Structure 1
């Protein structure tokens, strides 16, 4: 099982807003493009989206189905990747102070991915998760900043009101 986590410097509500938009799936999931609703209302249980995976010149049409969701805290998906098989991906959002700790847990279920699963395969999934969580963080944090959320770097020095000097944020 490949488990990876990342602290995203926005609220769990802000992260959920991105996860709950099936049209944005390709913006944060590595290797996907052109995500579109297929059936149901994403992210409700049973809803599905369709997207393409590009491996060099090869393009594969795949889909992901919501198997379970708990509004604002948990999303469990089953990704169908044709001959590569299926995988379970669980995404958990935990409040961490004013931020969100995102935990991703993925493992293959059926097909070639399940049969070939080994330590080397696990390393590839970990690398993919690192990139995916970095994309998700960038997307969420940029949206909060773009919509006027006052997010400052930790330790940034700012001028205090009426102090005429600097203070540590």
Structure 2
């Protein structure tokens, strides 16, 4: 299992606000290139984000499904990108001073990529997930600062 973490200088609820907006998924998940639809009950268990993975014109249309959620605390997903496979992704939010320690885990659960040794999976996933958390931090910080200053998103 690959794990990355990052401290984001906003409260856990502000980070979860970004996670709970499925339309922002392609803005922070590296590799997701286009959101086609988001189930109305996102991020409820069983709800889906219908997305494309990869660059046009060779992108794959697939989906990500919520497998567990504790609002403000954690989100567990099954991210699919067939024919490559599917991965279990866990995101936990822990209060850290005035901010949030975000931990993200990922491991392949199905498909051809599952045969890759854990060390190789980690070499591929760690840089991608580190960048994903950097993007999540930017979105959460920007969204929170606009809300805090009374300048909500248009």
Q: Calculate the TM-score normalised by the size of structure 1.
A: 0.83
- The SS at the match of 1:125 is helix
Kindly state the Cα deviation for residue 34 of structure 1 after the two structures are TM-superposed: 2.1
Match of 2:63 in 1: 63
Match of 1:111 in 2: 111
Kindly state the Cα deviation for residue 118 of structure 1 after the two structures are TM-superposed: 3.4
Gaps of 5+ in 1: 150-169
Paired residues for 1:44-123 under 5 Å: 44-55=44-55, 57-123=57-123
Query: Which has the higher Rg, Structure 1 or Structure 2?
Result: 1
Kindly state the Cα deviation for residue 51 of structure 1 after the two structures are TM-superposed: 0.7
Q: Give the ranges of 4+ consecutive aligned residues of structure 1 lying more than 3 Å apart after TM superposition.
A: 36-40
Greater relative contact order (Cα < 8 A, sep 6+):
2
Gaps of 5+ in 2: 150-154
User: How big is the alpha-carbon RMSD for the aligned residues of Structure 1 and Structure 2?
Assistant: 1.7
In structure 2, C-alpha distance between the alignment counterparts of 1:105 and 1:61, rounded to whole Å: 23
Q: Calculate the TM-score normalised by the size of structure 2.
A: 0.90
Match of 2:152 in 1: none
- The SS at the match of 2:108 is strand
CA contact (8 A) 2:51 2:63 kept: yes
Deviations 1:44-75 (A, max 9, x none): 00000111112464111010000000111010
